[in-house]
Amino acid sequence: MSEVIVIGVVALQGAFHEHLKLLNLAAADEDLGEAGWDFRQIRTPEELEACDALIIPGGESTTISLVAARSNLIEPLRHFVKVERKPTWGTCAGLILLAEAANRTKKGGQELIGGLDVRVNRNHFGRQAESFETPLDLPFLKDENSSTKDSESTPNPFNGIFIRAPVVEKLLPVVQGEQCVEALRDDTVIAPSKQKGSSRHVVQPVEVLATLPGRTKSISENIDAAELAHQGDIIVVRQGNVLGTSFHPELTGDARIHVWWLKQVMYAIRSS
Ligand code: GLN
């Protein structure tokens, strides 16, 4: 098959080199080998236009958004994500930028791209000093492994690296204009979502793909495991073409999420 899929990584600030490294590692996976992959750094609207799918890396979301605005990339990014609905994955700061609403940020100080009908809480676990690593159980990777027929088997946990990480603190109703309610909140910025209405696609629901069981509570309170599981922080969400992860897979040497996502991209392109 001579198909070449172009994957862009927004390269304005943050861990874009690390994503490119893991993408190259992932492309060696035997299930991905049949497509040709072209991984590129993206800094201009013209470069973005050539992409079939996109990654927005971790870093500092205010800086990425500021540089994107100066590079005239914000509207093209919104078009890519919300009108063309091409596969897009944001990690950490990237998740913040892909949220329709984000709090703990100076009003007007940061433009969101949007695409995920969620509100994120920036720096949820605290400042840099409170950054941490923890083994994660990621059920979507388990599904991927179920071809081994051993559905009970737990894959190796994924090393979750959380650096001033956001979590999804609210799933917003998937109704156009609903962010107006969010806009009334003092400490919240919202993404303009007008483009959504012009799409020929039906808006999909937000799926919670992974949670971090009760971390905040477990530090201070003695709650049993089942209770904690219910109170987990939402750290991976998907809505149609958009995926967001709170942590930094790009800072590990583990390409499993990149492999999984590239497969999703491949299926999405083939079925479009
Ligand atoms: N807290 C950062 C922000 O607001 C995100 C941190 C990260 O990407 N590691 O952009």
Tell me whether residue 198 is exposed, middle or buried, using C-beta atoms within 10 angstroms of its C-beta: 0 to 12, 13 to 18, 19 or more. Answer: exposed
Q: Measured from the CA of 123, which atom of ligand 1 is nearest?
A: 1
| 86 in contact with ligand 1, CB cutoff 6 A | no
Dist. CA 248–CA 162, nearest whole Å: 7
Which of these, 111, 53, 114, lies nearest to 268 by C-alpha position? Answer: 53
H-state helical runs in 79-152: 93-98, 139-145
> How many angstroms separate the CA atoms of 272 and 266, rounded?
10
CB atoms within 10 A of CB 31: 13
What residue type is 36 in one-letter code? G
Segment 78-89 shows an average pLDDT of 96
Closest ligand 1 atom to Cα of 166: 1
- For residue 248, the ligand 1 atom closest to its alpha carbon is 9
Taking each helix axis from N to C end, the angle separating 16-26 and 256-270, rounded to the nearest 10 degrees, works out to 70
Closest Cα to atom 9 of ligand 1: 163
How high is the mean pLDDT of the chain?
Answer: 85
Query: pLDDT digits over 94-153, tens only?
Result: 999 999 999 866 655 679 999 999 999 999 988 888 899 999 999 999 865 544 444 455
Q: Provide the phi-psi class of 193: left if phi over 0, else alpha when psi is between -120 and 50, else beta.
A: alpha
Assess whether the C-beta atom of 110 lies below 6 angstroms from ligand 1: no
Q: Report if pTM > 0.75.
A: yes
pLDDT band of 215, cuts 50, 70, 90: low
User: Residue 102: CB within 6 Å of ligand 1?
Assistant: no
Closest atom of ligand 1 to CA, residue 58:
8
Which helix (H) or strand (E) segment is 251 a member of? none
Of 29-33, 173-177, 227-231, 234-238, the poorest mean pLDDT is in 227-231
Q: Exactly one of 18, 51, 92, 258 is catalytic; name it.
A: 92
CATH number (2.60.40.730, 3.20.20.140, 3.30.429.10, 3.40.50.880) of 4-271 reads 3.40.50.880
Tell me if 81 sits within 8 A of 114, measured CB to CB.
yes
Residue nearest to atom 2 of ligand 1 (CA): 60
Residue 92 annotated to the active site: yes
pLDDT tens digit string along 35-80? 899 999 999 999 999 999 999 999 999 999 999 999 999 999 999 9
Distance 202 CA to ligand 1 centre (A): 31
Has 250 been annotated as catalytic? yes
Q: State residue 201's pLDDT score.
A: 53
Calpha distance 244→116 (Å, rounded): 8
Residue closest by Cα to atom 5 of ligand 1: 93
* Whether 57 contacts 18, CB under 8 Å: yes
Exposed/middle/buried for 83, CB within 10 Å: 0-12, 13-18, 19+? middle
d(CA 59, CA 92): 7
187 pLDDT higher than 80: no
